[in-house]
Amino acid sequence: MATAPLMPKATAVWLVDNTSLSFAQIADFCHLHELEVKAIADGDAAQGIRGIDPISGGQLAREEVEKAEKDPAYRLKVLESKVRLPEVKRRKGPRYTPVSRRHDRPNAILWLLRNHPELKDSQIMRLVGTTKSTIQTIRERTHWNIATMTPIDPVALGLCSQLDLDFEVNKASKNAPPRPEGEEIGGQTLLPAEVTTAPGSQPFADFEPSERRRDEEEKIDADSVFAKLKNLRRDDEDEQ
């Protein structure tokens, strides 16, 4: 059921000119401020707007107008439309991108590839309205403008909504294979839980910082050199 006329200001212009309804009644019916309706009546607002008859348009019954004119406290009710609009189905294929936003698509693709590598090419195509060849050139860093690209969130660019992005990310995460145990992350291998939680275990013993290890090795080498020098000095003293 509609809650407001299709063209509120044009409807308000017609009601001001053709009925004796109060400003409050017209403002309530058209979802406008009462002062705005008063400005329309005074000619200070909606200049050049042609009034639209809500009665002939099937949005208001004549009986409603007559009842409201007799009772200033009565509020007009919008008639329920008899026309049933078909449900809008989600469009398949790449999303249409306005011309003013098309130069931002490579930056959005770069952002998606870096932050959501689990997304398929078909999902990126739906989100930003691009082609598979463009995604491939950006992934392989062979795009003609790759040197000047900056990763930017496609939601911030207005190329897709946050709901659409979350939907595609969640869908890709569900279809992604689970991470196997012991998989290397950042060059290191994760140890099983039974090893790290065992009494007296040192799970990070093998990941000692390289600088600390290097210092200790240099210290050991220096001690061995000094020890050899002392032995040579003693040998010289014994010969003398």
What number of other Cβ atoms are within 10 A of residue 184's Cβ? 8
pLDDT band at 50 (very low <50, low <70, confident <90, very high): confident
Domain boundaries, the chain: 8-70, 99-175
Q: Could you tell me if 58 and 11 are in contact, meaning their C-beta atoms sit under 8 angstroms apart?
A: no
Q: Could you tell me if 191 and 183 are in contact, meaning their C-beta atoms sit under 8 angstroms apart?
A: no
**Which pLDDT value is given to residue 204?**
47
pLDDT digits (tens, 9 = 90+) for 151-167: 999 888 888 888 889 88
**Which pLDDT value is given to residue 22?**
92
Q: Could you tell me if 128 and 112 are in contact, meaning their C-beta atoms sit under 8 angstroms apart?
A: yes
Q: Answer with the residue of higher pLDDT: 176 or 133.
A: 133
Taking 60 as the threshold, does the pLDDT of residue 209 lie above it? no
Instruction: Round to whole Å and give the CA distance between 170 and 100.
Output: 29
Question: pTM value?
Answer: 0.38
Q: How far is residue 191 from each of residues 102, 208, 224, measured CA to CA in Å? A: 47, 15, 36
Taking 60 as the threshold, does the pLDDT of residue 86 lie above it? yes
pLDDT band at 106 (very low <50, low <70, confident <90, very high): very high
Q: Answer with the residue of higher pLDDT: 220 or 78.
A: 78
**CA 4 to chain centroid:** 31
